[in-house]
Structures are given as structure tokens and as C-alpha cells.
Amino acid sequence: MRYNIGMLIFVILAALALRLFGIDWDGGYHLHPDERMLTMVAQRITFFGSSISIDPQFFNYGSFPVYLLAGITQAADALFHTHLATYAGQLYVGRILSALFDTGSVLLVYLIAQRLWKNQRIALWGSLAYAIAVFPIQNSHFFVVDPLLTFFFIALLHQLIVYVQEKNPGWTSIIFISFICAAAITTKFTGILFIPIAAAVIMYKHFVHRTIGLWPRVLFFGALTLGFSMVFMPYAFINIAQFINDISLQLRMNNNAYIFPYTLQYVSTTAYWYPLKHIVLWGLGPVYALLVLYGMIHTLQHRSKNHELLLHLLILGSALLYFLLIGRSAVKFMRYLLPLYPLLAVYAGYAIVKLGVWGRVLFIISLLWTVSFMTIYAVPNTRISASDWILSAIPTGSTIAVEHWDDRIPLYGSERYTIKELPLYEYPDNTKKWTHINQLLQKSDYVVIASNRLYRPLQKLGDCSKYARCYSRTALYYHDLFANQRGFTLVKTFRVSPLGINDESADESFTVYDHPTIFIFKKN
């Protein structure tokens, strides 16, 4: 028993180390746009002093993570005279919070696997499998809401398993379930999907095991969830008009990939297949995915009791429901399916044990993908390297053309140059647009492409017979530019490929934040 506890502690510490390694990956320049926005919103919140203000004026995401960040940093400043409640300080505290929540998910994977199989080895291997999963590690390096939502999803499923296994669950269990659901909803509105899962389990327990008071329990669950939600996100109820407007805009985005420039990358991508492909190829890696598939199939084929089957159906059914509802979205950021990764790790751990030596071999191969990915945090961020090069190689007074809707490079020292912004997303893609852009290019000595945010989707949208909104002239511009036929020549490329693995074909959000490829062109 002591050995198992010691191994679990090792796994948890290893997971935390992976999530904290390279936490200063962007040198404090706030290069993740969602993280940047959440930190800016946290700056609006004041819990202490004479002018208390808790209106975030922002509901694209829930208020719970913002309040948590603001509360912790402001309390630290008040008690210990730190400077964590600043825009710079909250960046790192937020990333640490993401790492801690996701490390908590490692522990929950262990607890769920232990309850499913009552096998310490499977539980340990499952927690280790999640500890090394690439995509959760990457998102733990950002203060975004998805690691917190993932934690609450896995925490809810663990509590529901406990509820099912209890002979006569009391009201305390309902309180825990309600608290978790409210925390999830007020972290990200997607958490609303957890409500029917929880309600279904409560009703199942009543009808099958004849527990008393079904409707009092359901009403108690609903009232408590609403009450906790009002505590965690009060201004969603006080300023309900803005809340509805912000959430409606997000829902519209999920039904129309054309609605924002940064979602054009998802035009014509296939529902379900696109997110599944990226989980397999990049989020986990193909070998890891094979372990998951084997674990799921073997579990369903060899369950020993109907009670065990029920618990697995709860886990797999919840995962399937989440995938079916989120995977159909027109906009398919990889992080939308982050809550599924702990559940996949549960079955990867089972597969590793059942496959014996071969399972451990496959785990080691999967670990190589993790080690490969972690190398991006062992070297300077490409945007920082490119900024250093520009300051040393491009003469002061030069004119640099950059792309709008992307982080400008150089990150610092830009006052030495004249910066021209190319409005390449502008639509229609007509002569008026290109007359303006060509004038800017004529005045520019250099062109900097800071990521694939624009050139990848806009080149794809070059066929006007195929797409509702097309960029044929912009696609031609990029083709000529990369072929050194636009009056500029490529003079420098900054790329960090994990141990030589070319991940340019991955979802844009997998590369653009912490290891974008950068191109610098010089006028001929």
C-alpha cells in the first residue's frame, strides 16, 4: 500500500513538473489571446479596498476563473505585500492555477480507475497516462478556462460514480454534484452539458435502487446548482442582457465558421472527423490512441458484472455525448475536446496493464511524443528569437509590413521602425483592397509573417466556385510571396519542430501560441 501511495505521489509530482516546465515560454509577453483577454478581465475586478468592483463586463467565458485569479492575487498582495495582482503577475499565477487544476485531474483519473477496476496498477498507469498526455500538458501552460472545465468534468464523473456505488446516497452527495456543475457552468458555458448527465444519474439511482424522494432530490440539485452559479457568476444574472448577447455570439460562431477571421481555418472541415483526427495525431499521438481504443474495446468485451458495465457506460456514454455535441461544431479548436482526455487516459491505463510487456513498450513509445513536444519549452519562443534577430539585423528606420489579427513582431523595440499593417482578412478581396495593400508593400522594406493564422486559411479559400467567401487574390499573393516572386525574398525562417516532427498540418491552435513558424522577407 505504501508503495502504491509513493508511486501515486511520484506520478502527481511528475505531472506537475511537466506542466510547470517552461511556464515562462513567452517571456511574459502574453502571446496567447484568450489568456491575454482573461487577464485583462481579471484586472477589472477589485475585491479589497474602498472601491470594490466585481463586474467583469465580459461573458464569453465564465466569471469563476477570473474571480479565482483576482481573489488569489489580490489576497496575496494584501497579506504578503506581493505584486501578483498586476497584469504581469496574474499571467504567471493563472498559468500555475491551470497546472494545478490539471494535476488535480491526474489524481481524479487515478480515483476513477480505482473505482472502476479496484486495481491499483490500472489506476496508477491510468494516472501516469494522463500525466504524459501532450495536449493537456500544453494547455496547462496557458491560463485558459479549458483545464479548469476538464477538472470539473472529471470531478463530476467521479462524484457520480460514488453516488451510484453508495447504497443510500445522502443529501451531501447532491451538494457536491451541484457545486461541481455550477463551477463548470461558470467556468465555460459548455458546462451546461453536465447538467443532464448528473440529473440522469440521480434519476437512475432512484428508479433502479428505489431510493426515496426522487423529485425533492432533483429539485434540490437544480436549486443548488442555480444558487452556486449565482455566487460564482453573479453578473450573469444582474446583467443578463449582456450575458445572453455574449453567449449567443459564441453559439453563432459554433454554427458558422465564417463569422470571425480567426475561425476561417475551419471552413469546410468535417464534423467529428476533424477533431478526432487531431486527438489521435497530435493531442495524444497515434500509439497512445491505439492503447485507448484497445482499452475501451477490451473493457466492454470482458466486463465481469452488470454493475461494472453500468459504470463504464456512464464514463463512455458521457464522453460520447460530449463528443457528439461539441464535435459537430463548425468551429473546432482542439481545446474544445480537452475534457475527454482524462477519460481516454483511464482506458489507456487499463490497456497498458492488460497488454503486459507490450503495453509498457507502447507506453514508452507514447512517452517519446511527450518528450519530443516538451522540447519547445526548452528553447526560446520563435517570436522572441525573431524579435532579437530583427533588432540586430534590420536597420533602424526600416519599414516593416506585418499582418493584422496577429501578434506584431518585433515584440519589443518596434519604435525603431515604421510598422505597416496589411489588412489581408478584409473582404471583399477586390481591387480596392489590393490597391491599398500594394501601396503599403511598396513602402515596406520587409514583410513579417508571424504565424500561419492568415496564410493557411486564406490560401485554402482561394477557390471562389467552392467557398461562400473566397480570397483568390490573397491566395495568389501568398503563393507568389513564398515563391520569392512578389518583389521580396525570404531571408529568415524561425521554426521549432519537436525533435524534427513537422506539425504544420496540425490544427492552427496547436502551434500558433507557443511555437509558430515565422517568415521574414526582404525587398529585392
Which residues make beta-bridge pairs with 493?
519
Same domain, 514 and 371: no
Same domain, 329 and 416: no
Give pLDDT, residue 306: 61
pLDDT class for 159, splitting at 50, 70, 90? very high
Same domain, 362 and 467: no
Same domain, 489 and 408: yes
Q: Residues 427, 473: contact at Cβ < 8 Å?
A: no
Same domain, 340 and 420: no
Same domain, 349 and 445: no
pLDDT class for 49, splitting at 50, 70, 90? confident
Give pLDDT, residue 344: 98
Tell me the pLDDT of the chain averaged across its residues.
95
Show which of 325, 353, 377 is a domain's final residue.
377
pLDDT above 70 coverage of the chain, percent: 98
Count the residues in the chain.
Answer: 524
User: Is the confidence at residue 307, as pLDDT, over 80?
Assistant: no
Domain count, the chain: 2
User: Is the confidence at residue 404, as pLDDT, over 70?
Assistant: yes
Whole-model pTM? 0.96
Q: Residues 194, 156: contact at Cβ < 8 Å?
A: yes
Which residues make beta-bridge pairs with 490?
521
Residue from 286, 312, 297 nearest 355 by CA: 297
Give pLDDT, residue 489: 98
User: Is the confidence at residue 301, as pLDDT, over 90?
Assistant: no
Q: Which three cell numbers stand for residue 454?
A: 492568415
Same domain, 332 and 437: no
pLDDT above 90 coverage of the chain, percent: 89
Same domain, 363 and 421: no
User: Is the confidence at residue 226, as pLDDT, over 90?
Assistant: yes
DSSP structural state of residue 204: H
Same domain, 340 and 486: no
Same domain, 319 and 413: no
Mean pLDDT of 6-24: 97
Query: Could you read off the pLDDT of 355-383 as tens digits, one per residue?
Result: 999 999 999 999 999 999 999 999 999 99
Show which of 327, 343, 377 is a domain's final residue.
377
Same domain, 371 and 394: no
Furthest C-alpha separation in the chain: 81
Show which of 334, 358, 377 is a domain's final residue.
377
Give pLDDT, residue 166: 87
- Residues of the domain holding 390: 382-523
Query: Could you read off the pLDDT of 329-364 as tens digits, one per residue?
Result: 999 999 999 999 999 999 999 999 999 999 999 999
The terminus-to-terminus CA distance of the chain in angstroms comes to: 70
Same domain, 335 and 434: no
